[in-house]
Structure formats: C-alpha cells, structure tokens
Amino acid sequence: MKNIELPRRVVVGDDAVKQVAEVCKDLGLKKNPLVISDTQTHKVAGKKVAGLLGVESMIIEPSNDFSGILDYIKKKKINFILGVGGGKVIDTAKYTSFLSEIPFLSIPTSAAHDGIASPLVSLKGEKPISVKARSPVVVVADTRIIKKAPHRLLASGCGDAISNYTAVLDWELAHKEKGEYYGDYAAALSMMSAQIVMCCAEKVNSDVSIAVEALISSGVAICIADSSRPCSGSEHLFSHALDIICPNPALHGEQCGVGTIMMAYLHGDDKWLKIRESLKTLGAPTTAEELGIEDKYIIKALTIAHTLRDRYTILGDGLSRKDAVEIAKSTGVIS
C-alpha cells in the first residue's frame, strides 16, 4: 500500500513570497511559526518572511545535529516551520518538522535540486543517505528571488531535473528484470520534467519558472511513487560515489548531469548527445574538468557506484575499470 502525500498549495511567480502570510492563514496555520534560514538566505528572503509573519527568524549553520532546533520547537511550542533557503536549510526544516510532527513550508531561494517539494531529506554520513520525512504542505517559489541566485545553482537544478531521464530508464529496467514495482504516472511525470528542461534549455536562463516547475514536478513524482525511484537512478549513484571519494565534490545536480550523459550512453541510447548539448546550453558542466574533478575520481566513482545502495540500475553488478574508462572517454567526460 502506498501513502501518497502531496503539497496542498504551490505558489510560483515573481514576488510569491508576499503571499506567505495569506497562504498560512488560508491553511489554518496561525500561531507560533518558526522561520529557519542561514546567514545568506536570511538576507535574501528569511528576514522578509519572518517580518510578514511578525516573528524572528532563526539563523542556522549547516549541521547534522538537529537537537538544538528540536528543543527550541518543543520549548516554544512551535506549530509550523518555514524553511527559507537552499538545500541545507530546506532539509533541516523538513527533517525537524517531521520529527516534531508539525507542518513544514518550503520557500526555496534557489532552484538547485528537487528537494524543494519532495518528502526526502539527504543526510550526510559515511554513505550519503536519503531519509523519508514528509512533503511540504506549501511550496512558495519566488522567481524574482530565485533568478538572483548564482547561475551555477540554477544550472545544477537543471542537471538534477535532466537526470530523471536515466532514473526512469533504470526504473523500467528494474521492473522488467527484477519485477520491481513501477508506476506509469510517476515515471511519465518525472520524464516530462527532464524533457521540458532539455527542450527549453535556451529559455531556462531567462525564465527560471521552467526549472522551478520541473523540480517541483519531480518532487511530486517522488511523492506519487512513494520512493525516489522516478528521480534517482545510476546517475545519482555516480554522484553519491563522487561525494564520498572526492576531496572537493561539485554540486549535486552538476554531478548528476554528467552522470546522466554516461548512464544514457550505457543504456545504449543516443539521447546522451542531446543530454550533453542541453547541459552545455544551460551552462552546466559536461566534463570532469568542468566539474573540477580529476579523471581518476570519475573512473573510481563509476566502478563503485553500484555498491552504494540496494537499487538495481544499468550498472548491474558493477563496471570494470576498463568499461568505466571507455564510457567516460566515449562521452567526452574525460579525454
């Protein structure tokens, strides 16, 4: 049995943040909110959101220790949390609200990944893992704020959306070969996000709502599948492997984008050329050099990616070093 929980309200557009107080009121969220942001996102939007709700904003440092926030929520009898920021802030708000059993509102200040609307939280440990928490009840994506974020973040978000392409191919494969559950609707929705970003690559830079909507739809696909399957396959395993072995990994979506080029090639699909071209148009990295990662880590990541989680993908039982080199060279990721 699946338990599908979707956001109740999604507000996307210029100045969307101004709607926050009204949206909270509409949904019966009134007393004792907590606004969480970090130093940077506090200036960009956290301060404004807190002002609109007439409360102080809590400024956090990235950490996996949530005990201070959890104590504060209990002590102050907080009723709902608004996470205003990028991945770390959104994840902290999502996870602490889940543990405290109170609603969470997602207010992204950039469009760098699909965690904006998904129920999943990435926790960094020995192996990076994603834990199921709950979906936000509200997503407020202010495109005026998001377009001011560094372009690198937007390009990374597009990489994360495009990576749905191989995630869905891997999901189909696992269904055919291992009898794994496969949801047509979630798969189609996820694939559509990837295709729209690829087709509209030229327009994305001037209209960030394309990327924002693709990432929100990806989060909804995850909600419907009740699993990250529609948006996370072999290309994500490759990115997780880089996070573990690289001294200085690149951004999540940047690594997933490069992973998608190679995994599409491995699927025997000439779409990898279109994927690479779209990433280039978006200004996202397509090579090891552009990722700022040495070739040796790319090869190593390709050979260990299959060990990172129990998820069947095109990587099967793993790639040999020789195969890894061939794939990375043929796709121009390494020269």
Site residues (CB under 5 A) for Zn ion?
160
**Minimal distance in Å, beta carbon 115 to Zn ion?**
8
Nearest distance in Å: CB 251, Zn ion: 10
CA distance 311 to 158: 23
| Region for 223 from its dihedrals, namely left if φ exceeds 0, alpha if ψ lies in -120 to 50, beta otherwise | alpha
Whats the size of the chain, residue-wise?
Answer: 335
Least distance between Zn ion and beta carbon 160 (Å): 4
Minimum distance from CB of 117 to Zn ion (Å)?
A: 12
Query: Closer CB to Zn ion, residue 255 or residue 287?
Result: 255
- The Cα–Cα gap between 301 and 149 comes to 30
Q: What is the DSSP letter of 46?
A: I
* 131: Cβ contacts below 8 Å, ≥ 6 apart: 95, 120, 121, 123
Residue closer to Zn ion by CB (options 160, 254) is: 160
Task: Closer to Zn ion by CB, 160 or 170: give it.
Answer: 160
What residue type is assigned to position 328 of the chain? A
Q: How far apart are CA 82 and CA 104, in angstroms?
A: 6
Beta bridge partners of 13: 142
Nearer to Zn ion, 138 or 161 (CB): 161
Q: Provide the 3-class DSSP secondary structure of residue 317.
A: coil
Is the CB of 29 or the CB of 189 nearer to Zn ion?
189
Which one, 59 or 210, has the nearer CB to Zn ion? 210
CA-closest candidate to residue 107, choices 123, 93, 120: 93
Nearer to Zn ion, 142 or 160 (CB): 160
Q: Least Å distance between CB 114 and Zn ion?
A: 5
| SS3 of residue 125 by DSSP | coil
How many whole angstroms separate alpha carbon 51 and alpha carbon 169? 45
Shortest Å distance, C-beta 321 to Zn ion: 26
| H-only helix segments in the chain | 20-26, 39-41, 47-53, 67-75, 87-100, 143-146, 151-162, 164-178, 184-199, 201-204, 209-225, 234-245, 252-266, 271-282, 288-291, 295-304, 321-330
Q: How far is the CB of 68 from Zn ion (least distance, A)?
A: 28
In terms of Cβ atoms closer than 10 Å to its own Cβ (0-12, 13-18, 19+), residue 211 is buried
- The nearer residue to Zn ion, 183 or 257, going by C-beta atoms, is 257
- As measured in angstroms, the least distance from the Cβ of 254 to Zn ion is 11
Cβ proximity to Zn ion: between 91 and 160 the closer is 160
Which amino acid, one-letter code, is at 200?
Answer: C
Q: Minimum Å distance from CB 113 to Zn ion?
A: 5
Q: Closest-CB residue for Zn ion?
A: 160
